[in-house]
Amino acid sequence: MPRRPPLVVGHRGAPGYRPEHSRSSYDLALAMGVDAVEPDVVVSRDGVLVVRHENEIGSTTDVASRPEFAARRTTKTVDGSEITGWFTEDFTWDELATLRCRERLPKIRTTSATFDDLQPVLRLRDLLDLVREASLTYGREIGVVLEIKHATYFAGLGWDVAALVADELRAAGWAAGELPLVVESFESTVLGQVRERGIRGTFVYLLESSGSAFDLVAAHGSAARTYRQTASPAGLDALVGIVDGISVDKRMILAPDRLGRATGPTTLVADAQERGLQAFTWTCRPENAFLVPQFRTRGGPGAFGDWESEWSIIRDAGVDGVFVDHADLGVAFFR
């Protein structure tokens, strides 16, 4: 029987309950019934694809408390933003493997933070193997939504990220459509490069609610097309045949006004689907800190607000896929 939309994706596993991108975060999401999980990948000094939300790892690992790595703290400009911390490209995989995962938002997700410093960082290969095994264990087809981070930045360091990704997917048996694969990025250039290497999957362009993609800024400067222009009917027309879908900041669907009241759903999802493009959105989270102001309740940033009302607008928009931090809530609500 065909799966009913939307696809429910465990965003970095189940980071509402465990430190993001940790083994237990993925294990929990898979056990809770998600259709797919979403790893972000960055590159180590020796070319290993590492599962981390960003290449700066000071807030998501114990690296800051490791005296042997203190001298590697530095400041870099990544995608036009100056960032100080520790960066995956300055560590070999063997060094990164000694680090342990930490909760990125310990003041909001206090329970998750109790699992700090217990689990090693994962490679992409570890995650691909884990999902394949989970499909057998749970007797259902489970996919991977692979997000490529900072491809233009890493190209500047000499890495062909598309080649690294394609080679890893082939080595792991994920390149020819064996299991559901989505490749996504905020940079359309790398999506095309991965597709050109013969990887079979769905290619999805991530869109922020403001700004421009860094690959376009690097190529065109101030003339770079903005994300909002890309999300317009004319912009969507230009994506047809280039990518298979878009994945947008939920605010582009909710359309909060100046008082924080949702005026959506907007027509963006329907506009994309009318052109044969799939439409995903990120990220559905129940805590007050992440809800538009209209749906926040008492209890502080970490308390659950009226998330059902916010998520209802997203569901009613008819999205093809949704990213969730609390896998159990996402599966129950969107199913």
Dist CA 189 CA 271 (whole Å): 23
**pLDDT tens-digit profile of 167-183?**
999 999 999 998 999 99
**Which 3 state secondary structure label does DSSP give 224?**
coil
Cβ atoms of residues 225 and 183 within 8 Å: no
How is the chain split into domains, by residue range?
7-55+121-334
> In which band, very low, low, confident or very high, does the pLDDT at 128 lie, cut at 50, 70 and 90?
very high
Dist CA 220 CA 217 (whole Å): 5
**pLDDT tens-digit profile of 298-335?**
999 999 999 999 999 999 999 999 999 999 999 999 98
Mean per-residue pLDDT of the chain: 97
% of the chain at pLDDT higher than 90: 98
Query: What pLDDT does 178 receive?
Result: 86
Question: What pTM, to 2 d.p., does this model score?
Answer: 0.97
Helix axes 124-138, 23-31, angle to 10 degrees: 30
The phi-psi region of residue 58 (left if phi > 0; otherwise alpha if psi is between -120 and 50; otherwise beta) is alpha
7-55+121-334 to CATH, choices 3.40.190.10, 3.20.20.190, 1.10.1200.30, 3.90.25.10: 3.20.20.190
Flag whether pLDDT at 109 surpasses 50.
yes
Query: What pLDDT does 191 receive?
Result: 98
Query: What pLDDT does 2 receive?
Result: 46
**pLDDT tens-digit profile of 212-236?**
999 999 999 999 999 999 999 999 9
**pLDDT tens-digit profile of 1-50?**
345 679 999 999 999 999 999 999 999 999 999 999 999 999 999 999 99
**pLDDT tens-digit profile of 257-268?**
999 999 999 999
Dist CA 49 CA 21 (whole Å): 13
Buried b (16+ CB within 10 A) or exposed e, 21-54: bbbbbbbbbbebbbbbbbbbbbbbeebbbbbbbb
Query: What pLDDT does 95 receive?
Result: 98
